[in-house]
Structure 1
Amino acid sequence: MFKWGSVLLLALACCHPAQAVAEPMTERLRVEVVRTLPHDPDAFTQGLLLHEGHIYESTGLYGQASLRKVDPETGRVLNLLALDPAYFGEGLTRVGDTLIQLTWKEGLALVYDLDDFSLQRAHQYGGEGWGLCFDGEFLWMTDGSQTLYRRDAQSFELLGQQPVNFGGRSPGALNELECVGDAVYANIYRDSRIVKIDKASGRVLAEIDATPLLLLSEQPWDGEAVLNGIAYEAETDTFYLTGKLWPLLFQVRFVSP
């Protein structure tokens, strides 16, 4: 005997679409200012890191690019190496007792002695250099695209690349980087957001709104004086943030709204 009920149930079982697996939500955070510190307003900040209580900074602009060691409490520059006028300084990181500084279009990663800034060697690479950080095993680099590049910390050899996924949207041009645990924090060029990226998957785990710092920076907007520079202090679980040509450096926490 033909049973319509059985046919209907079978059809529903066969044709009902599978439930979509929801992608985890991107966490929304804001900055909470802990301290405001002085910063050289002539520094076109491209790379920033903290080591043993000192700020190390890479600055850009042709004819003005430099590598610096700075006292964060006073903003005083303790050591400064002016780059060749043909070089535009970019991302900066520390590997052991050396500093590695990218150059924008020159295709050179400059390796210096941490103490006296003497040039030890240089690595060549293709494309542009923007941000750089070291996670204790690998270097992570940006070139102004939406991709993270993984490189060997000693040879600078390209080992792989990870497209960044922002829920199907482009996060924008990834710039200065800071490696913290399993994540990479990135400035977005000409944007007041910072994104926290899972370096294994490329997924954006959190989006940090740093807009209040633009108002507190005392730097008039001119299109170039943008938020740029992230340094992490593990002891306090805080970040030091600044911008290009900003007269202030901010120690902040990333907190829920």
Structure 2
Amino acid sequence: MLHKLCLLFALTLPCAAAPIYGYKIIAKYPHSTDSYTEGFFYLNGLFYEGIGLNGHSGIVVTQPETGIPVQRFDLPSKYFGEGIIDWGPDLLQWTWQSHTGFVLDRFSLRIVSQFHYDGEGWGITRSAKELITSDGTATLRFRNPDTFDETRHIVVKDGPKTIDQLNELEYIKGEIYANVWHSDRIARISPIDGHVIAWINLTGLLLEDQRVNAESVLNGIAYDAKKDRLFVTGKQWPTVFEIKIIPKSK
């Protein structure tokens, strides 16, 4: 209700910031420090991961318990891989600044087709009907999964403050979860109007001495809908963490 009042009386009513939640570690899984994580999701007992960096980009599919790859796809070296998502029998991966995306058969990881888009590619997730993408700004774009054309967009705000640098995405129980680049927080966003419903503060999840460099930031959210499990990781992190969201201690 407060958010609706903020929209109606934005000129006179100060809007409260979204509540902040903490976390509890439930389990840890191995993750390759060679993986510069740009996309991440869970499907049928496996982690699917989009990997970035020119010359190292592609998709790797791993067994969570062992971290052992069972499939791998390598992009040509000129492409910097970004977000990935499944759609039917296919996988979609787009790239950072090349304006080129790829549709792959999910079972063989062979390229089926390519597609073009304007702007930068960062994260991708999906609802049952739409793709949802980020481009490093505060705008999330909803797209037709068959054409990749934009159908609508939302601007993400926490109260009156615009939240940019939105990166890897995951659609969970009707909300969009988004990493914020170079931040240890995940935003839970309304897909209707873009307001931040809540924050998850993951400060301290990975010790600083376990990070490869300054770019080894939190980035990667996956959800197991069948068992209601939430996983997070980061670029070149040694671990995937299964976490539970809890009220933050004062």
Question: Which TM-score applies when normalising by structure 1?
Answer: 0.88
**Structure 2 matches for 1:103-182, cutoff 5 A?**
103-182=95-174
> 2-side partners of 1:42 and 1:126: how far apart?
29
Structure 1 residue 24: deviation in Å? Answer: 6.3
Is the radius of gyration larger for structure 1 or structure 2? 1
Q: From 237, 241, 250, give the equivalent of 2:241.
A: 250
One-letter code of the match for 1:94? D
Contact 2:136 2:166 in 1 (8 A): yes
- Which residue number in structure 2 is paired with residue 58 of structure 1? 50
How far does the alpha carbon of each residue in 1:165-208 deviate from its partner, in whole angstroms, 9 at most, with x for none? 11111323000000113210000001000000001010000100
Question: Which TM-score applies when normalising by structure 2?
Answer: 0.91
How far does the alpha carbon of each residue in 1:42-76 deviate from its partner, in whole angstroms, 9 at most, with x for none? 10000000000000000000001121111010000
**Structure 2 matches for 1:200-219, cutoff 5 A?**
200-215=192-207, 219=210
> 1-side partners of 2:219 and 2:13: how far apart?
36
- Which residue number in structure 2 is paired with residue 89 of structure 1? 81
- Which residue number in structure 2 is paired with residue 11 of structure 1? none
The number of equivalent residue pairs is: 237
1:191 lines up with 2:159 in the alignment: no
How many percent of aligned residue pairs carry the same amino acid?
A: 33
Contact 1:133 1:140 in 2 (8 A): yes
Structure 1 residue 21: deviation in Å? Answer: 6.2
1:78 lines up with 2:54 in the alignment: no
In structure 2, relative to structure 1, the CA distance for the partners of 1:45 and 1:157 (3 Å cut) is same
Contact 1:218 1:246 in 2 (8 A): no
> 1-side partners of 2:82 and 2:211: how far apart?
23
In structure 2, relative to structure 1, the CA distance for the partners of 1:166 and 1:25 (3 Å cut) is closer
Unaligned regions of 5+ residues in structure 2, if any? 1-11
One-letter code of the match for 2:171? C
One-letter code of the match for 1:138? E
CA RMSD in angstroms comes to 1.5
One-letter code of the match for 1:193? R
> 1-side partners of 2:157 and 2:41: how far apart?
26
> 1-side partners of 2:217 and 2:54: how far apart?
18
> 2-side partners of 1:218 and 1:133: how far apart?
31
> 2-side partners of 1:38 and 1:254: how far apart?
21
- Which residue number in structure 1 is paired with residue 229 of structure 2? 238
- Which residue number in structure 2 is paired with residue 31 of structure 1? 23
Structure 1 residue 163: deviation in Å? Answer: 0.5
> 1-side partners of 2:191 and 2:159: how far apart?
15
Contact 1:135 1:181 in 2 (8 A): no
- Which residue number in structure 1 is paired with residue 6 of structure 2? none
